[in-house]
Amino acid sequence: MSLPYDVWAVGGSRKLSPAGRALAQYVAGQLLAARARLAVGCCTGADAAFIECAAGRGFASRLWIFSAFGPIEARAGAVAAAGTCRSSAVGAVAAAKSSGAAIIPWAGGRPDMPVVARLRARTTQVAYAATAGGVIVADGQFGPGSLLLASHLAAHGCPVYAVTLAPMVPPPGPGGWLADHFLGLPCWRLPATAPAALAIAA
């Protein structure tokens, strides 16, 4: 698989088991080994696993992190940023930034926007940064945020691969997902020609 700095949008569940986290990091490691860049959000769970894998392996410079919150500040040995919510992975984003990752703050809009609206708009930006495809990772069922990312990617002309731990559960919603393999893993694939009507509210 040759990916000369193609950009892959990655995301998934905001809560992952240790096995789900390992799955996300395997996917990230394989994409990075193939010279891909990763566009990712700023949440806990899958986003954080992708970010931490890239930074931990010395590939932070290949990360584009689209943050729904504001610029990160150091405060007495900790990190903080305006506009965060309970699913914000501020520590992972800060560590990646210090290792050379590109951070796009307020990617979903200014702090006066409701957090759900900011997260949805941020997801749109992650999808539209992709040039090659997208991958979403979950322990089991895929949530509405993952499906929103998938629908935007498909509408943007990118195939989407949904990878989950066994047993492989098809993503909910309208049809269009096909059984396939990605990086040696069984998955569901949403072709780039899928209708934009698959969009689901986060």
Grade residue 74 by pLDDT with cuts at 50, 70 and 90: confident
How many Å apart are CA 108 and CA 114, to the nearest integer? 10
State yes or no: pLDDT of 146 exceeds 80: yes
Task: Name, in order, each residue with C-beta under 8 angstroms of 192's C-beta and a sequence gap of 6 or more.
Answer: 153, 154, 156, 157, 158, 159
Asked if residue 31 belongs to a domain, the reply is yes
State yes or no: pLDDT of 198 exceeds 80: no
Grade residue 1 by pLDDT with cuts at 50, 70 and 90: very low
Total domains in the fold of the chain: 1
76-108 burial string, b = 16+ CB within 10 Å, else e?
A: eeebebebbeebbbbebbbbbbebebebbbbbb
State yes or no: pLDDT of 85 exceeds 70: yes
Asked if residue 87 belongs to a domain, the reply is yes
Asked if residue 2 belongs to a domain, the reply is no
The range of the structural domain enclosing residue 96 comes to: 7-198
How many Å apart are CA 174 and CA 18, to the nearest integer? 30
Letter for the amino acid at 115?
A: V
Task: Count Cβ atoms below 10 Å from residue 184 Cβ, excluding itself.
Answer: 8
What 3-state DSSP class applies to 23?
helix
Check which CATH number belongs to the domain holding 17 and give it. Answer: 3.40.50.450
Nearest to 91 by CA among 143, 23, 155, 42: 42
State yes or no: pLDDT of 16 exceeds 90: yes
Q: Do 32 and 67 contact (CB within 8 A), yes or no?
A: no
Q: Do 89 and 115 contact (CB within 8 A), yes or no?
A: no
Q: Do 191 and 176 contact (CB within 8 A), yes or no?
A: yes
- Could you tell me the two tokens for 184? 């040696």
Grade residue 166 by pLDDT with cuts at 50, 70 and 90: confident
Task: Name, in order, each residue with C-beta under 8 angstroms of 175's C-beta and a sequence gap of 6 or more.
Answer: none
Asked if residue 1 belongs to a domain, the reply is no
How many Å apart are CA 2 and CA 126, to the nearest integer? 22
State yes or no: pLDDT of 194 exceeds 80: no
